[in-house]
Chain A
Amino acid sequence: MPILTADMSAGTLVEWRKRPGDALARGDTIAVVETDKGLIDIEVFTPGVLEKIIVQPGATVPTGAVLAIVRETTPAAAPSPAPPPRAPVVPPARRAVAPTAAPSDRVRISPLARKRAAELGIDPASVRGTGPGGSIRREDVEQAAAARAAAPAEKPRAPLDRQARARQAIGAAMARSKREIPHYYLATTIDMHRAMTWLAEQNLERPVADRLLYGVLLLKAVALALRDVPELNAVWRESEPVRSEAVHVGVAISLRGGGLVAPALHDTAGKSLGDLMRSFRDLVQRARSGGLRSSELSDPTITVTSLGEQGVESAFGIIFPPQVAIVGFGKIVERPWVVDGQVVARPVVTATLSADHRVSDGHRGGLFLAAVDRLLQEPGRL
């Protein structure tokens, strides 16, 4: 069971999309899992054959539990002009979907751990072993039981509906963020005259279906500005930030029933505005209908939130752990603006940055907002 959202401790397997014996390609959806964020498709990272399903639909298991065993297929040898006389026959290795490899169908477990598992009602096949040779020890079983006890679905109180659980999950993540992350906040007002003019010209030339919203300009500007201040494009692991090469901007999307998700627009910096627009529409549509992919939930390296549609002029977000920054945009409004000593009416937007002071300082944050501003003054290069 992969960790799909911050503070996720368990998930419910809803259905298997593949059956034992089915061939799997990288990126295939193998199963659907219900989390506090809704239904998520679980992707396969290793090509192979689904050998055995361990967790049945309807079961709620802790994160880290083995869901199924995938037998890796041996990659086909690259054609070579002079093949070696006798290539060694490599038996296909086995790998579990979850991080732990199960060496065989028989679970390696100590007698004591097996007894404890029976007492605690834990399926040994779902436990990750840390003993010699990956064997399961008593401690492993007890940890699995503790994780299960911590899972919301296992709590004895009246079961919460999905919205209430989503609210609880958001609360847990945000409380953790405010508890652990020393936020600092910056804001700047950006003249959007050039960007909006350029956008209007662009959209005249585009078919209606391909027209751009100003939001994608903002997303692209954020993604490119991170090149100047790369420390904001990172995730906090254990006790230090780990920078990400790729920029996957998480886009905060409000859900119709309440709550929100912030799935990743993969490779935001590398996509053209047209591609970004299509990806964005697709993401919003799937976020609201329930069809997000597991990688979209776990990959964002920074988040952008925009509340302009609601008339809000500035939004200071709470960082979504384990990320280290969130950028907020308000509504584009016409305001008196001084250009060359003259007061004129200009469309302006307030951009904000909430950033983790463990990772960056206000000086660097200021440079980032200045870079966003600069990029929006040259929209043709976005």
Chain B
Amino acid sequence: MTTMTYRDAIRSAMREAMRKDPRVFLMGEDVGGYGGAFKVSYGLLEEFGPERVRDTPLSENTFLGAGIGAALGGMRPIVEIMTVNFSLLALDQIVNNAATLRHMSGGQLSVPLVVRMTTGGGRQLAAQHSHSLEGWLAHIPGIKIVAPAVAADARGFVLAALRDPDPVFIFEHATLYPVEGEVDEQAAPAEIGRALVRRRGDAVSLITYGGTLGTTLRAADLLARDGVEAEVVDLRTLRPLDTETVLASVAKTHRAVIVDEGWRSGSLAAEVSARIMEGGFYSLDAPVARVCSAEVPMPYAKHMEDAALPQVPAIVDAVREMLVAHG
């Protein structure tokens, strides 16, 4: 086990893959000479050279399309998009090509593409750099979405995505890059499609992923002081969702609060809630609750950004409202 940051864990996984497999290469805006907007690829240009660490123009639809082409041609491209907000420029390639080609070709074509992008708020980068649009992309059949919340998963999912025969999108929450965690550099790739219980409890299931896992665990610690043991489920993969793990937890606790940094309306939290209702209705002892971001473009001012994001007190309040006796 090694202690390393989330950022270093991603770089370590990319370096390991590039050393072992000559088909793997990285491209994106400023990934080479600058070392990446979030310094994830820092040092890779020096080791692997400009053929395998390629700076691209500011043209997401173009270079994501180039990634699809390279994947069709037998390469294992990793495409870095600076933030999920900018991935909207590449939606045509994502929805109409990356996600469809296997199906439209009757299985003749495979797109083993890896797309990494930053998501989420909390760093005062304002509305055009701070949204959590994972829920939108998780709507699309034909691609897989992972959202590592800890360093070990960041490494594990990069390796798993490179092995996957279909497009895999990795969402890296901007606040997680400097967070340290224990990483086993000999560990096998993470399993896409499997959620994990990060904390055991029996009073309520707190279901979350990515940047809000830490917030949710802190809320669970606060609740434990009052004797409320919350179970925290880390979804890890947003498509396909691990419904089984979620339902098993709810079957035990009979209550669920979903914490999701996306906007509430039409959110991933809404999808999880619907699945609990479909598969766990008769084990529910209270309506499912959601703690999501305020439905506004992310504010720049620190106090307003804090107010817009899911925070510990909101989670604690949602749980208390569910548990306190009302009559």
Q: Does chain A have a CB within 8 A of B327?
A: yes
Given known A132-B321, A138-B254, contact A111–B327 (CB-CB < 8 A): no
Neighbouring B residues of A138 by C-beta, 8 Å: 254, 285
Q: How far is the CA of A1 from the CA of B311 in the complex (A)?
A: 45
The size bracket of the interface on A is 10 to 19
Task: Determine which of B281, B282, B321, B326 lies in contact with A130 in the assembled complex, contact meaning CB atoms within 8 Å.
Answer: B326
The total of Cβ contacts below 8 Å across the A-B interface reads 38
Which A-chain residue is minimally distant from B251 (CB atoms)? A112
Neighbouring A residues of B286 by C-beta, 8 Å: 110, 131-132, 137
Task: Determine which of B284, B322, B326 lies in contact with A111 in the assembled complex, contact meaning CB atoms within 8 Å.
Answer: B284
Decide if A111 touches B281 in the complex (CB within 8 Å): yes
Interface members, chain B 261-319 (any A CB < 8 Å): 281-286
Q: Does chain A have a CB within 8 A of B187?
A: no
**Taking beta carbons and an 8 Å cutoff, which residues of B are in contact with A?**
254, 281-286, 321-322, 325-327
Q: How far is the CA of A130 from the CA of B285 in the complex (A)?
A: 12
Decide if A111 touches B325 in the complex (CB within 8 Å): no
Which B-chain residue is minimally distant from A114 (CB atoms)? B282
Neighbouring A residues of B281 by C-beta, 8 Å: 111
Q: Does chain B have a CB within 8 A of A113?
A: yes
- Minimum C-beta distance from B228 to chain A (A): 14
Decide if B284 touches A130 in the complex (CB within 8 Å): no
Interface members, chain A 126-147 (any B CB < 8 Å): 128-135, 137-138
Q: Does chain B have a CB within 8 A of A206?
A: no
Decide if B282 touches A128 in the complex (CB within 8 Å): no
Task: Determine which of A113, A115, A129 lies in contact with B327 in the assembled complex, contact meaning CB atoms within 8 Å.
Answer: A129
Decide if A133 touches B254 in the complex (CB within 8 Å): no
- Minimum C-beta distance from B13 to chain A (A): 43
**Taking beta carbons and an 8 Å cutoff, which residues of A are in contact with B?**
100, 110-113, 115, 128-135, 137-138
Neighbouring B residues of A112 by C-beta, 8 Å: 254, 282-285
Of B254, B283, B286, the most chain A CB neighbours within 10 A belong to: B286
With contacts A112-B284, A138-B254 known, what are 8 further pairs, Cβ within 8 A?
A110-B285, A112-B282, A112-B283, A130-B326, A131-B286, A132-B322, A133-B326, A137-B286
Q: How far is the CA of A296 from the CA of B150 in the complex (A)?
A: 68
- Minimum C-beta distance from B319 to chain A (A): 13
- Minimum C-beta distance from A128 to chain B (A): 7
Neighbouring B residues of A110 by C-beta, 8 Å: 284-286
Q: How far is the CA of A36 from the CA of B144 in the complex (A)?
A: 68
Task: Determine which of B284, B322, B327 lies in contact with A134 in the assembled complex, contact meaning CB atoms within 8 Å.
Answer: B327
- Minimum C-beta distance from A41 to chain B (A): 28
Neighbouring B residues of A137 by C-beta, 8 Å: 285-286
Q: How far is the CA of A15 from the CA of B99 in the complex (A)?
A: 71
Neighbouring B residues of A113 by C-beta, 8 Å: 285
- Minimum C-beta distance from B276 to chain A (A): 11
Neighbouring A residues of B325 by C-beta, 8 Å: 130-131
23 contacting pairs across A/B (C-beta < 8 A): A100-B327, A110-B284, A111-B284, A111-B285, A112-B282, A112-B283, A112-B284, A112-B285, A113-B285, A128-B327, A129-B327, A130-B327, A131-B285, A131-B286, A131-B326, A132-B286, A132-B321, A132-B322, A132-B326, A133-B326, A134-B327, A138-B254, A138-B285
Closest 4 CB pairs of A and B: A112-B285, A130-B325, A110-B285, A130-B327
